[in-house]
Chain A
């Protein structure tokens, strides 16, 4: 049978990006700054959020969407620190969150009563870099127990992020990790990247992290 060719020339990410744009428009209209936390598995995304919810939760209404390949463990951990809704997305094997999942999760969040939204992505330095979720910025976590060359190995993620939060800084005396070299490697990939240095366990550097978050909040209009 003869065949005919149909020209399509459509970006594979077009649908995701369209949904992400919708999410972004809703969050901006509601004045909710949104950060997509990305990192390797075990870099400390959940612990950073636990501390943040415990320390800021009384002043700031923070909602969280957590993504995990399997289990709701992260959502359960976070729910202990907040009365706010923690939306768990179980990806059932998928290595990243996509805009469709986030759009559905956002439906369940009372945006009028939310000052700040975190999306805790699946632990993975590869795939989440390619999926726009409608966030204002990606924040990449980089623990000192990882290799200093992570930004060179996973350039897309560090290129996409606006902020790099070093975590587990309390372990620095015990690991052969050169912070300066790590910063230089990350800067080579993304000269605009901003750095924060934290230990959620020892609570070092958390004030700088909180100052950054507060600086992102929408001003409250006086009535």
Chain B
């Protein structure tokens, strides 16, 4: 029911981690969702697809992994690697 709040918090965490300018380069967002986390994975994927389709994101793909327990965490971010700056 509160999947949209969780999706927005995931976006905030990504921004905190990477900085706003880098969010367009995110290609995948990995989330771990426990069976007892009170989150419906399909609904969370739907909400994440919606927010990740809007700027500053550029269509990153949500990747949800089911786990036992009540874990709910941002597991990883996959970003375009522009290579060394020098």
- A residues touching B (Cβ–Cβ < 8 Å)? 1-13, 15-16, 94-96, 98, 124, 126-127, 129-130, 156
Are A2 and B81 neighbours in the complex by a CB distance under 8 Å? yes
How would you classify the secondary structure of chain B's contact residues: helix, strand, loop or mixed? mixed
| B5 CB within 8 Å of chain A | yes
Are B38 and A12 neighbours in the complex by a CB distance under 8 Å? no
Contact status of A10 and B73, CB under 8 A, knowing A3-B78, A15-B12? yes
Are B76 and A98 neighbours in the complex by a CB distance under 8 Å? no
Which of the four size classes fits the interface of chain B?
20 to 34
Are A3 and B81 neighbours in the complex by a CB distance under 8 Å? yes
A8 contacts which chain B residues (CB < 8 A)? 13, 17, 73-77
How would you classify the secondary structure of chain A's contact residues: helix, strand, loop or mixed? mixed
How far apart are A53's CB and chain B's nearest CB, in angstroms? 29
B36 contacts which chain A residues (CB < 8 A)? 156
Residue pairs across A and B with CB atoms within 8 Å: the count is: 78
User: Could you tell me the distance between the alpha carbons of A36 and B76 in the complex, rounded to whole angstroms?
Assistant: 33
A156 contacts which chain B residues (CB < 8 A)? 36, 38
Q: Other CB < 8 Å A-B pairs besides A5-B78, A11-B73, 20 of them?
A: A1-B81, A3-B28, A6-B18, A7-B75, A9-B74, A11-B71, A11-B72, A12-B10, A12-B73, A13-B72, A15-B12, A15-B13, A16-B9, A95-B2, A95-B5, A96-B5, A124-B1, A126-B38, A130-B2, A156-B36
How far apart are B8's CB and chain A's nearest CB, in angstroms? 10
Are B9 and A15 neighbours in the complex by a CB distance under 8 Å? yes
Chain B residue at minimal CB-CB distance from A98:
B5
User: Could you tell me the distance between the alpha carbons of A181 and B31 in the complex, rounded to whole angstroms?
Assistant: 39
User: Could you tell me the distance between the alpha carbons of A2 and B72 in the complex, rounded to whole angstroms?
Assistant: 28
Are A12 and B13 neighbours in the complex by a CB distance under 8 Å? yes
- Can you list 5 A-B pairs with a CB-CB distance of less than 8 A? A12-B6, A12-B13, A94-B2, A95-B2, A127-B2
Are B38 and A5 neighbours in the complex by a CB distance under 8 Å? no
User: Could you tell me the distance between the alpha carbons of A56 and B79 in the complex, rounded to whole angstroms?
Assistant: 57
User: Could you tell me the distance between the alpha carbons of A127 and B5 in the complex, rounded to whole angstroms?
Assistant: 10
Are A5 and B72 neighbours in the complex by a CB distance under 8 Å? no
A129 contacts which chain B residues (CB < 8 A)? 38
| B27 CB within 8 Å of chain A | yes
Q: What are the nearest 7 A-B pairs in CB distance?
A: A127-B2, A4-B81, A2-B81, A6-B77, A1-B80, A126-B1, A8-B74
Chain B residue at minimal CB-CB distance from A91:
B5
Are B13 and A10 neighbours in the complex by a CB distance under 8 Å? yes
Chain B residue at minimal CB-CB distance from A1:
B80
Q: Which of B62-78 contact A (CB under 8 A)?
A: 71-78
A4 contacts which chain B residues (CB < 8 A)? 78-79, 81
Contact status of A127 and B1, CB under 8 A, knowing A8-B13, A8-B17, A12-B73? yes
